[in-house]
Amino acid sequence: MKRFVIRLMVFLSMLFLFDRIVFLFLQTQRPSDYKLFLEAKQDFFNDDYNINLLIIGDSHIADALDPRILDSMSTLKSYNLGVYHASPFENYYITLAALTQQKGKLDYVVLGTNPEMFDRSLSKGRYTPLIINGALIRLFQLTLFSEEGFDKSTLFLTVQEQYLFTHVFNQLCGKTYKPTRAIVNVFHGFLEFHNQMEDIQWSGYSLKPERIKFNSEQIVFFKKTIELLQEEGIKVIIVNTPIWFEKSLALRQAGKLDEFESLVKDISLKYHIPLFNPGHDLLKDDLINSDFLNAEHLNYGGAVKFSTLFRRTYFNKDPSI
């Protein structure tokens, strides 16, 4: 029995070591654009940034607000911590981790929103665990309360990164990888790119008149994030990010956009905080097709316009709201 236990422990130790080696290998094989994205967000937790405006949300806000533009002609020092596909559940723990990491006093937090955000499950996400990996308490809480809980991916990191095997296989087969975002510059978490995705539908949307399937738990975490920040004396601004006007029209005709806007407006009124772009109509006549990566994400052309208007609205002269 003793010999069996020893062999089992040796086997598990070897398996654990092998998992870590494969995990490290996969990090070197991550697609170039996603590698830059991950490093840009991890950098916030690996360095001693002293900022006073933090941007929280998913890929929509990650692509929409450039800290360089926000900081120009103002006294801001900002960082974009938007994480691809993050939900309010993930953002709550990202915010907790960021408040611990931040050296100085945060004055503002921007919470980016979009119609898909509250529909997501309470998953710990693909990238959030890797980004807040150093904040062990927050990572533990994120994992504990997620729908996955403590599963095999908790012990074996390769399980969570198994999607990268497809990329490695394609590389071995000689397939050329085309980045989703052709990144040309990175600054304070913001990835600058000018390209558009191929084969994107820009018109002719036909959406069924169905309700947005709000996950009530996500709404709770969104409110908890606001309450957390207000308890810390931090001013919050909610930002509805732009949607290509034809898709926005289709969403509105289907009743989905009105319901989402009503939800966010009610939250902003309840907590007495500003709501930027409440009706998704800002820059409607200025944003053109080439300002978008796809019908819901801006590229740098659109980010310049949206960031400039946001800065002028709140921070051009007196950095207060």
Cβ–Cβ < 8 Å for 123, 66: no
Alpha carbons 109 and 225: distance in angstroms, whole number: 10
The structure tokens listed for 73 are 């002609």
- pLDDT, tens digit, 9 for 90 and up, residues 273-318: 999 999 999 998 999 999 999 999 999 999 999 999 999 999 976 5
Query: To 5 degrees, how large is the angle CA 53–CA 122–CA 44?
Result: 30
Q: 3-class secondary structure for 269-284?
A: HHCCCCEECCCCCCCC
The predicted structure's pLDDT at residue 209: 64
Residue 146 carries which DSSP code? Answer: S
Alpha carbons 188 and 76: distance in angstroms, whole number: 12
Domains of the chain from N-terminus onward: 29-314 (3.40.50.1110)
pLDDT by position in tens, the chain (length 321): 777 767 767 777 787 788 788 778 878 888 899 999 999 999 999 888 889 999 999 999 999 999 999 999 788 999 999 999 999 999 999 999 999 887 678 999 999 999 999 999 999 999 999 999 889 999 999 999 999 998 888 777 787 878 877 877 777 788 888 999 999 999 999 999 999 999 898 988 877 766 668 999 999 999 999 999 999 999 999 999 999 999 999 999 888 899 999 999 999 999 999 999 999 999 989 999 999 999 999 999 999 999 999 999 999 765 455
Alpha carbons 101 and 83: distance in angstroms, whole number: 17
> Is 180 in a helix, a strand, or coil?
coil
The predicted structure's pLDDT at residue 319: 47
The residues near 287 (Cβ < 8 Å, ≥ 6 apart) are 242, 244, 245, 298, 302, 305, 306
Cα-Cα-Cα-Cα dihedral sign, residues 188, 189, 195, 196: negative
State how far the alpha carbon of 182 is from the alpha carbons of 38, 61, 265, in Å: 15, 18, 35
* Residues in the chain, overall count: 321
Alpha carbons 83 and 86: distance in angstroms, whole number: 5
- Secondary structure (DSSP) of 44-87: HHHS----SEEEESSHHHHHH--HHHHHTTSS--EEE---TT--
The structure tokens listed for 205 are 């949307």
The predicted structure's pLDDT at residue 17: 81
